[in-house]
Amino acid sequence: MRDFIEKMPKAELHLHIEGTLEPELMFALARRNNITLAFNGIEEVRKAYQFSDLQDFLDIYYLGTNALLFEQDFYDMTWAYLTKAHAQHVHHAEIMFDPQTHTDRGVSFETVITGIHRALEDARKKHKITSKLILSFLRHLSEEAAFKTLEEGAKYKKWIAAVGLDSSEVGNPPEKFQRVYQKARDLGFLPVAHAGEEGPAAYIWGALDKLGAMRIDHGVRSIEDEKLIARLKETQIPLTVCPLSNTKLRVFDKMEDHDLKKLLDMGLCVTVNSDDPAYFGGYVNENYIAVQEALDLSRDDLYQLARNSFEASFLKPEEKKALIKELDAYFADNPA
């Protein structure tokens, strides 16, 4: 099953590019840029990656980004992820970036997006991986700051497909960004949002009804609300679930408690993703393997999850069709 999962064609739809910065690259960049990090070495960094909740993780995650200063740094980080994704048979990736984490440190929006974009284009040519970029607003910051970030993002509209909402969820409900999302949709950005990771099901309703979210990042707490489950099933609004993230951040105590299989069995459009792979102990394949083993997922479940990853993407219908055809061929060529 492991080998079968590893080579299965798939898309990744919930990935923070800053969350792919491995300690080795973090230190290499710090050395190159002549800066001192808050950690004394790679081992110390890895030891710090024991989190009690989302905020505990975010505090360390934002510290790690201090190594990123120049366009080449953003290129190298993005290229490293795409190389890994290619090796894991990811054919398409929809990647979030947090401009405010960098602009608030004096790194320009242009520096960030130019480095990321150049790597995406190189991977498109070299690895045949297609991709989309999602500009994510930091929800612990103000509406005004989000508007400013959107304004900068609008200058790079041709490189950015969607807007997202991440960072500290509880206490920062979707409603706070209703007007920003209205503006973003008017500008032609597709709306997605983190909701129902640590926050309640009410935040998922908010993301759907106040932000117009076309996809919910995480959304695992939807299970607490029967009406919401019915809505998600009927509309097939996808959930981008991140199993290793959820156990590392104690949303579920152990993988056996994860509700992914229940949501899938209820007919929701569930997908598997890595969120912040450098911090949570695995890229997308390790996430598939962890849930397959803990929840005893069948080949049919795996097919559905991989198929959902293409269906839930922002690719064009004909592009989705071509990828699903590859998935079908993979299952046909590798009988149980």
Q: Which residues does the annotation mark as catalytic? A: 197
167 binds, among Zn ion, ligand HPA, none (CB under 5 to 8 A by kind): ligand HPA
Residue from 259, 275, 286, 301 that binds ligand HPA (CB under 6 A)? 275
What are the strands of the beta sheet with 10-16, ordered from one edge?
A: 10-16, 90-97, 130-138, 162-166, 190-195, 215-218, 239-241, 270-272
Q: How far is the CB of 42 from Zn ion (least distance, A)?
A: 24
Q: How far is the CB of 165 from ligand HPA (least distance, A)?
A: 9
Q: How far is the CB of 279 from ligand HPA (least distance, A)?
A: 8
Question: What residues between 269 and 288 interact with Zn ion by CB under 5 A?
Answer: 275
| Pair 129, 82: CB distance under 8 Å | yes
- CA 1, CA 17: separation in Å to the nearest integer? 28
Question: Is residue 94 involved in binding ligand HPA (CB under 6 A)?
Answer: no
| Residue number, 127 or 250, with CB nearest to Zn ion | 250
Phi, then psi, of 239 in degrees rounded to 5: -110, 125
198 binds, among Zn ion, ligand HPA, none (CB under 5 to 8 A by kind): none
- CA 280, CA 275: separation in Å to the nearest integer? 8
Question: Is residue 16 involved in binding ligand HPA (CB under 6 A)?
Answer: yes
Question: What residues between 137 and 176 interact with ligand HPA by CB under 6 A?
Answer: 166-167
101 binds, among ligand HPA, Zn ion, none (CB under 5 to 8 A by kind): none
| Residue number, 98 or 275, with CB nearest to Zn ion | 275
Which residues sit at the interface with Zn ion, rule CB under 5 A?
275
